[in-house]
Structure 1
Amino acid sequence: MRPELLSPAGSPEALRAAVECGADAVYLGWGSFNARRSAKNFSDEEFAQALLYCHERGVRVYLTLNTLVTDRELDAALRCAASASALGVDAVLVQDLGLLRLLRTALPDLPLHASTQMSLFTSGGACEAAADGCERVVIARECSREDAAAICRRCPAEIELFVHGALCMCYSGQCAMSALIGGRSGNRGRCAQPCRLPYTLTEQSGKPRNVRPAGPPPPMLGRPGKNAYPLSLKDNCLAAALEDMAAMNAACLKLEGRMKRPEYVAVVTGVYARLLRERRGPTAAESAALEAAFSRSGFTDGYWRGRTGPALFGVRPADAQDPKELFAAAKAAVEKGGLRTVPVTMNASFRLDAPCTLTVWDEEGRSVTVSGPAPERARNRAVTAQELADRLKKTGGSAYRCADVSVDAEGGISLPAAAVNALRREALSQLSAARTAPPKRRELPAPPPPEDHPFSGPPELTCSLSRPDQLTPELLACAPARICLPLEQIAGMDALPAFSGEYCAILPRVWRDRDEPEIRALLVRAKALGISAALAGNLGCLPLLRGTGLALYGDFGLNVFNGRALEYLADKGFSSAALSFELRAAQLRDLPKVLPCEAIVYGRLPLMLTENCLIRNGAGCACETPHALTDRTGAEFPLLPVWGHRTEIQNSRPLYLADRDDWKRLGLRYARLRFTDETPEECVRVFQAYRSGAAAPESFTRGLFDRGVE
């Protein structure tokens, strides 16, 4: 069985283009809770009409509700999903863990898909989403062929792969660059794409040396060199790999482009539909058409091949022109229509003095039978069975084509052509009603709001470190409630010095199935050294941590945005959780504290988590030397090497709240000081500043604490 081809529908015009050109399914936005809020999207009437249009033609419709939502927005998001379900939407894509839990409870029959915004890249994470009721999991775009095959093999849910279109530099769901720079959150559908701007890779003198990330780097495509756009990836194109994907039983292949014009959707959908139908790779002409429709310095398949490096990067010239002839031809074909019709089988009976009947079947086995006027005995020329069949075949202008017709006609009868046409139209109308009828689904009362259990006093201070040298006797003397260190660095230490709090291992933010034996061994070693807890920022951490006896704490990578997300984590066995740093103070305060909650109150907040090692791309294997990206204003964004030879881009200025007291009155149980490129001495000074309420340093930011995000 070939995979489903899923096309973008950023507008009604793009939806028609996708359907006419061969899409098996479309994904679209309706309302305020989708990750492309800048697309045209659909009005209420357009959405209802889109469902009828698609379902009549056998095309599935998926609604994108894949943004983070606040507690105040959850009811509206539920109403949106309930309305879509009642209209017959085929599935809803979800990112927010709280919304996932709410939909699964209140709309138990509505199919849910785990969005790529959930940052799932292992079979363990995919299986976790499947166990939560997701029928499909959209895995990370950075997954290689081997990664995807392993997940397809091990996960009971359908797996969706991204095959064509724009690649985000950051793992989906983990990008805060647009939010922190301009207040427009990618997790809320408002990304301003700062990754497409120019940056310069620079060394940072006087900074502590980095710890080399664990594991060998992946093979590189291209040599290190100067790149003015080190965050701008080429578009993905996996047209030559479709047979591989079919062989691994991938359920769905997704095309990106809800912000693109309908002609682009028509061209790209048409090419991929032909390739899947004919089970082949693209011709030179088809590859040229894909590139002409839209590309950034050509295409890349680097992630699919398990390779990173400078060759994956490209830009689109500001003066790039759309291919007029290609787009004009695509537009004309779509406007003419008739490219996408549903084959039906007809059986008609025309007997003298008895109502004529017509039965119509579609490929799925639905059938309708209608009757019309009784034929009369012919006074002059009788109508033949062939003439009646020819009239029934005239389905032009409808969503159907007659694949086969059989007519039982008594000789010597007469029936006006208008009566035969009316019989056909009525049958097809009833068939359309049957094909577009919404399924019966339960809508149960929403569960009661989560109970709020805020911490009554000021939060206890915790700290996360990036290097073992930051763990000094002076820092231990500050008596933090927790000290968190990357798992691989704890496991490499000889011993953990005793102190009054607890040690917590930070699990890698990104890894692959092949890394899990090593991670499990590191957990055994770290536990033997004395850690009592683990900080998990991804659903894939749960299978790794079950049975270890370690306390489970949620990290910021889980994007906890509401109290129902905390309920979800409580159900999973979490003892506490860090809240999203995209929440402003009032939202942090009002969020129901189902679990003991933590917020980051100091440090360089992570802007991006990238599969590419940006230092290696631009300067070769010099990860131990501190580097930064410098933007056009001169702001420097430090690069922190992390597990798997990946990069975490840090904000240019640290979040600083020590000179304020309002963060102490938010009901938080813990407040985290996040140390990345600080020296050991700076870590101690900052910790003491938060004890004493010291004045702010010369360069700092309040982050999103006051302003929040769109």
Structure 2
Amino acid sequence: MALELMSPAGSLESAMAAIAGGADAIYFGAGDFNARRSAKNISGEELPELLRYCRLRGVHTYVTVNTLLTDRELQKAASLISTLNREGASAVIVQDLGVLRMVRALAPDLPVHASTQMTVHDLAGAIACKEMGFSRVVLSRELPLDEIRFITERCGIETEVFCHGALCMCYSGQCYLSAAIGGRSGNRGLCAQPCRMAYGFDGGKPAPWLSLKDLSLCTHLQELEQAGVACVKIEGRMKRPEYTALVTSIYKKAIQQGRAPTQEEMKQLEQVFSRSGFTDGYYTGKTGSQMFGVRREEDARAARGVYAQARQLYEGKENPRVPIHLSFTALEGREMKLTVTDGDGFSYEAQAPMAEWAISRATTQEEVARNLSKTGGTVFYPEKMDIALDPMLRIPASTINAMRRQCLDGLTSLRRRSPRRREGEWQPGARRLEHQGEPGLIFQVQRFDQLSAPLLVLYPDYVYLPLEECVRHLPECIALQQEKGIQVAPVLPRIMFDSQWPPFLEMLRQCKKAGIGQVVCSNVGHAALLKESGFALRGDFGLNIMNSQALKELKAQGLQSATLSFEMTFPQMRDVSKALPCEAIVYGRLPLMIFENCAIRRGAGKCACKEGQHFLSDKTGRQFPLFPEPGCRNTLYNSEPVVLSDKKKDYTRLGLRYVRLCFTTESAQECAAVARRYDQGLTIEGRFTRGLYYRGVE
């Protein structure tokens, strides 16, 4: 199967530009529930005609319904899904597991693609998506070719890869920086891009530590096709139609002709938009400082110079893109017949009275072919033609032209029709009984030495700690369980490529053998990976659970508890019907970003993860701690901890089974002091935040 090229359509004009540029598919938002809510998007009035326009031209339409939804938004989303199903969208792109559940109920024949916001980056994640009903998965941008190939060859569903456009520093779906700083959530489609601002490393000079250059894989398209990738995707729903047209046309020619772009085409790609050039660092595994850049004034000036040229690619012209087979018959004593068939199984037939005998000159096959070939101004072009013609007949050109027009009009009508699909029903279901009374307690630590006797005297139900730390202190962890009745649950790394999993699977085997029965999962792949392991699976914040339907889906996947998103307000948490025991993070520095390109190594000039505490600072002087993660990754934590020690009455009313205190930079003494304040319901001195639980996110 040929590599599909998908282009962004942030507006109706951009959709036209993408199609004129040669896109095989477009993706766009058609409501409030898409990850580019600031784009113009496609209005309700524009949607049906755009879908018909694309079906006629053989262009797939993938509609983004890829944000996290609260319970009170689900009904509106259900209406949108029903509309998309009825109007014939090719597929919907989804992040929220609750939305997936709704699509399966409302539109069982509507294909669903797993958004890159689901952070699928390993084979287990892709297999989980297949088992949940996705037909395609959009892989994380951070994957190198070997990992892409490994997943694609084995997962059993289509894979899609971003090939051009803006790169986020954080793994998509795991970025909470914009929400924490300004209340604009990337998971809700309103990221303010604070990663493009300057930060200082360990108090040093401000620099673009988090601003990556744009991605370009235009020289790797053949490799991706050979790896079995189904679709390559251009980012840019916030960009101008000229950008869409130019980038699409260059990539389309490269795919069709099996080549890399020319030097002139590469220059045009840089001119229309770049940040000091492009990068393919994740794809090639060559990460480092060379991947970073900012949008300069000279970049913007270069773009203005190519806009007029790019507009010529799509203004006022129709490119024929649907090949057809024309079969014409004119035989003595029979009606004339023309049948036109396309490659999608549509066919239309026109008939005319039998032709008369020629008096002076008979019509030739060449003349018939010439008239049948006049498809200009339509989306069709003749790919094959069969003509059966008696040699002594005279056929007026007007008759052939009329038959051709009738067939093309009929074929146009057939292609524009919505596909016939089943329509189902969805109901939110009965509300589950919630936990009554004070929630249980969970302590999460980065280091085992934070678990002092004064802390453990409060007898938490669970202790969470990183898997590697659990294995390093396995005897002590087992003692906690046996002597104090405190369950220990190792936390799996949020990000782990397939090539990096073997030692961690061995660690899990050691934990299981020693008597550890719980494990904390951060993405859908963990559940698929550990389904038969015998561990009780506890869902972490990285699963981005924001509504009742998503909880039901997690339960179906075998999880036994879940952490509600810290982007929710307390009333939104209370709205959730808790099909699983739920927990919430009520203390600690929130993890705002996780990234593949190690900031500690870049800042220190060497691997310095074990050499003290590192941080990034913003223009106000706030310091955001950096913690190393397995695989030479980093997590960036908030500058201030969430503190709710004096708000126990508020979070006790939410029906939560557990609340979690997350300790990161604190010493053992500080951990114990914080826990005591929570136990007593007293405030904590110093700078802190209430998080998003009261102010919420957009």
**CA apart distance, 1:384:** 5.4
CA shift at 1:487, angstroms? 0.5
Structure 1 residue corresponding to 2:287, chosen from 297, 303, 308: 308
The 5 Å alignment of 1:158-173 reads: 158-173=158-173
Aligned residues: 689
Partners of 2:337 and 2:597 in 1: how far apart?
A: 65
Shift, 1:495, TM fit: 2.4
**Residue 609 (structure 2) aligns with:** 623
* Structure 2 residue 224 is the aligned partner of structure 1 residue 245: yes
- Structure 2 CA distance, aligned partners of 1:260 and 1:72? 31
TM-superposed deviation, 1:390: 2.5
- Give the residue type in structure 2 aligned to 1:603: G
Q: CA deviation at 1:28?
A: 1.1
- What is the DSSP-based 3-state SS (H/G/I as helix, E as strand, rest coil) of the residue aligned with 2:89? coil
Residue 648 in 1 paired to residue 635 in 2? yes
TM-superposed CA distance for 1:698, in Å, is 2.7
Deviation at 1:351, TM superposition (A): 6.3
Q: Is 1:7 matched with 2:2?
A: no
Once the two structures are TM-superposed, the CA of residue 355 in structure 1 deviates from its matched residue by 5.2
Amino acid at match of 2:200: T
Deviation readout 1:382-420 (Å, 9 max, x if unpaired): 765544432332212111122344445567777665554
Cα pair 1:346 1:361 within 8 Å, conserved: yes
Q: What's the counterpart of residue 552 of structure 2?
A: 567
TM-score, normalization by structure 2: 0.94
**Residue 299 in 1 paired to residue 299 in 2?**
no
Paired residues of 1:495 and 1:529 also in contact (CA < 8 A)? no
Q: Distance in 2 between matches of 1:135 and 1:107?
A: 14
Q: Report the equivalent of 1:674.
A: 662
Question: Is the Cα contact below 8 Å between 2:17 and 2:313 reproduced in 1?
Answer: no
Q: Would the alpha carbon gap of residues 546 and 382 (structure 1) be closer, same or farther in structure 2, given more than 3 Å must change? A: closer
Match of 1:637 among 617, 624, 630: 624
Checking the alignment, whether the CA contact within 8 Å between 1:141 and 1:303 is kept in structure 2 is yes
Aligned to 1:707: 695
How far is 1:336 from its partner? 4.2
Distance 1:590 1:316, change over 3 A: same
Q: Answer yes or no: is 1:269 the counterpart of 2:257.
A: no
CA 1:156–1:226 in 2, change beyond 3 Å: closer, same or farther?
farther
- Tell me which of 495, 498, 505 is aligned to 1:520: 505
Separation of aligned partners in 2, 1:193 and 1:554: 28
Percent identical among aligned pairs is: 46
Matches within 5 A, 1:490-509: 490-493=470-473, 494-496=475-477, 497-498=479-480, 499-509=484-494
**Counterpart for residue 62 of structure 2:** 62
Tell me, in whole angstroms, the C-alpha distance in 2 between the residues paired with 1:16 and 1:372.
37
Tell me how far apart the structure 1 counterparts of residues 543 and 324 of structure 2 sit (CA, whole Å). Answer: 48
**Could you tell me how far 1:709 is from its partner in structure 2?**
1.0
The whole-number CA distance in structure 2 between the counterparts of 1:406 and 1:118 is 50
Q: Specify the code of the residue in structure 2 equivalent to 1:295.
A: S
User: Structure 2 counterpart of 1:654, which letter?
Assistant: P
Q: Does 1:586 align with 2:571?
A: yes
- Residue ranges of structure 1 left out of the alignment (5+ in a row): 204-224
How far apart, in 1, do the equivalents of 2:345 and 2:540 lie?
50
Q: How does 1:211-610 map to 2 (within 5 A)?
A: 228-318=207-297, 320-350=300-330, 356-372=336-352, 386-408=366-388, 418-493=398-473, 494-496=475-477, 497-498=479-480, 499-610=484-595
Measured in 2, the distance between the counterparts of 1:418 and 1:53 equals 29
Q: Which letter maps to 1:192?
A: A
1:85 CA drift (Å): 1.5
SS at match of 2:36: coil
Shift of 1:132: 0.9
Deviates more, 1:677-686 or 1:38-47: 38-47
Q: Distance in 2 between matches of 1:668 and 1:173?
A: 24
The 1:575/1:375 distance shift into structure 2, 3 A limit, reads same
- Partners of 2:35 and 2:512 in 1: CA distance: 40
**Are the equivalent residues in 1 in contact too, given 2:320–2:381 (CA < 8 A)?**
no
Q: 1:382 to 1:599 in 2, by over 3 A?
A: same
- Say if 2:531 and 2:558, in contact at 8 Å, map to a contact too: no
Give 1:230 deviation, angstroms. Answer: 0.3
Q: Does structure 1 conserve the Cα–Cα contact (< 8 Å) formed by 2:567 and 2:697?
A: yes
Residue 510 of structure 1 aligns to which amino acid in structure 2?
Answer: I
Following the alignment from structure 1 to structure 2, what is the Cα–Cα distance between the partners of residues 402 and 547?
55
Deviation at 1:163, TM superposition (A): 1.1
Cα deviation, 1:244-264, whole Å, max 9, x if unaligned, reads: 111111111111111111111
Take 1:673 and 1:393, find their aligned partners in 2: how far apart are those partners? 73
The amino acid that maps onto 2:264 is A
Superposed CA deviations along residues 631-670 of structure 1, whole A, max 9, x for unmatched, are 1112211112122221111111111111122111111010
2:153 paired with 1:191: no
Q: CA deviation at 1:366?
A: 2.7
Q: Go from structure 1 to structure 2 and tell me whether the alpha carbon gap of 1:339 and 1:508 turns closer, same or farther (over 3 Å shift).
A: same
How far, CA to CA, are the matches of 2:667 and 2:679 in structure 1?
Answer: 19
Residue 567 of structure 1, CA deviation: 0.5
Contact 1:629 1:639 in 2 (8 A): yes
* In 1: Cα distance, 2:303 partner to 2:459 partner: 64
Residue 90 of structure 1: CA displacement?
1.1
Distance (Å, rounded) in 1 between the aligned partners of 2:353 and 2:8? 45
Cα distance in structure 2, aligned partners of 1:697 and 1:255: 48
Deviation at 1:380, TM superposition (A): 8.6
- Cα 1:314–1:581 change in 2 (3 A) is same
1:373–1:42 distance in 2 versus 1, CA, 3 Å:
farther
Structure 1 residues 512, 406: closer, same or farther in 2, change over 3 A? Answer: closer
2:686 is matched with 698
- Is the CA contact (8 Å cut-off) linking 1:68 and 1:96 kept in structure 2? yes
Q: Hey, what's the Cα distance between the residues in 2 that align with 1:547 and 1:363?
A: 45
> For residues 572 and 27 of structure 2, what CA distance do their matches in structure 1 show?
31
Shift of 1:589: 0.8
User: What displacement does 1:282 show?
Assistant: 2.4
> In 2, distance between residues paired with 1:616 and 1:413?
82
C-alpha deviations, 1:195-233, integer Å up to 9, x for none?
001111116xxxxxxxxxxxxxxxxxxxxx966010000
SS in structure 2 opposite 1:369?
A: strand
Q: 2:501 and 2:608 mapped to 1: Cα distance? A: 26
Moved more, 534-543 or 169-178: 534-543
Aligned to 1:87: 87
Matched AA of 2:628: P
> What do you get for the CA RMSD once the two structures are aligned?
2.1
Higher mean alpha-carbon deviation, 650-659 vs 225-234, is at: 225-234
Aligned to 2:645: 658
Q: How many angstroms apart in 2 are the aligned matches of 1:318 and 1:633?
A: 25
Match of 2:671 among 663, 679, 683: 683
1:678 partner SS? coil
Q: 1:505: Cα distance to partner?
A: 0.7
Listed as ranges, the gaps of 5+ residues in structure 2 are none
The residue type equivalent to 2:257 in the other structure is E
Q: Structure 1 length as normaliser, TM-score?
A: 0.93
